[in-house]
Homo-oligomer: A and B are copies of this chain.
Amino acid sequence: MREIPGVPYSFKDPELLTLALSHRSIGRLNNERLEFLGDSILNFVVSACLFDLRSDNSEGDLTRLRARVVRGETLAELALGLKLGDYIKLGEGELKSGGFKRNSILANTLEAVFGAIYLDGGFESCEKVIRHVCDPYIALLPEANELKDPKTRLQEWLQGHGYSLPEYTVLTDDGPPHRKVFLVECISQAAGIKVTGKSSSRRKAEQIAALAALDIIAENSKK
């Protein structure tokens, strides 16, 4: 096999493609080293693309945007679009447990395919394929600011409007030690905000409270 339908590249060395599709459950000859290589070239090509497209974004913004593209969840989605799961070679155990559908395996295999294309055809061929696969996703990325977590966004809004930082307080933490539920209050007196958030971790409860605060701010700004 020299090609995967949907990936616009034909391998000179078909064994490289076979290796890229071989999950480690199949044995010693597997795609893990190619995945290492492909991960790093993907990271670079996406970085260069975002650097061009988002000329107004800071280094921090670019880092957040890139993370959204190269995270396992996104890569698995892109791999699914290419029907990569139909071509992955798995060992018996993984095959029975439906490994070809697992996000991590799909994502890692896509990276390994990129690594194999780089070895087979060089940097520019690989760059073209990565752009072909990723550009539609990159075109739909939100504004960098929307990728910030709610606490950061709330803090930036308050500071931008001359208010002091919000205060987070744990009101209650009920339940046994390993299954606690945290109720956290978020207050900004100056901005007239007092909301709560509830979750199994204190950090998440704070984020949920911050999101509630941002909702109030958005509502008020419509009035």
A62 contacts B44, CB within 8 Å?
Answer: no
Write out the residue numbers on chain B whose beta carbons fall within 8 Å of the beta carbon of A41: 44, 47-48
Per the 8 Å Cβ criterion, residues 51-95 of A in contact with B are 51, 57-59, 62-63, 66
A136 and B47 alpha carbons, distance in the complex (Å): 27
Chain A 33-49 interface mask (CB, 8 Å, partner B; 1/0): 10111011101100110
Contact of A40 among B36, B37, B48, B57 (CB under 8 A): B48
Which secondary structure characterizes the binding site on chain A? helix
Q: In angstroms, how far is the closest chain B Cβ from the Cβ of A203?
A: 22
Chain A 94-124 interface mask (CB, 8 Å, partner B; 1/0): 0000000000000000000000001000011
A37 and B36 alpha carbons, distance in the complex (Å): 19
Whether A173 is near chain B, meaning CB under 8 Å from some CB there, is no
A25 and B37 alpha carbons, distance in the complex (Å): 35
How many copies of this protein are present in the complex?
A: 2
Per the 8 Å Cβ criterion, residues 128-166 of A in contact with B are none
Q: In angstroms, how far is the closest chain B Cβ from the Cβ of A79?
A: 18
Q: In angstroms, how far is the closest chain B Cβ from the Cβ of A216?
A: 33
Measured CB to CB, the nearest residue on chain B to A39 is B47
A36 and B58 alpha carbons, distance in the complex (Å): 9
Contact of A58 among B33, B44, B48, B57 (CB under 8 A): B33
A40 and B33 alpha carbons, distance in the complex (Å): 18
Q: In angstroms, how far is the closest chain B Cβ from the Cβ of A175?
A: 27
Per the 8 Å Cβ criterion, residues 161-204 of A in contact with B are none
Write out the residue numbers on chain B whose beta carbons fall within 8 Å of the beta carbon of A37: 47-48, 51
A44 contacts B35, CB within 8 Å?
Answer: no
Write out the residue numbers on chain B whose beta carbons fall within 8 Å of the beta carbon of A43: 40, 43-44
Known: A36-B47, A36-B62, A48-B118. 12 other contacts (CB 8 A): A32-B58, A33-B57, A33-B58, A35-B59, A36-B59, A36-B63, A37-B47, A37-B48, A40-B44, A40-B66, A43-B43, A44-B44
Question: Which residues of A pack against B, CB within 8 Å?
Answer: 32-33, 35-37, 39-41, 43-44, 47-48, 51, 57-59, 62-63, 66, 118, 123-124, 127
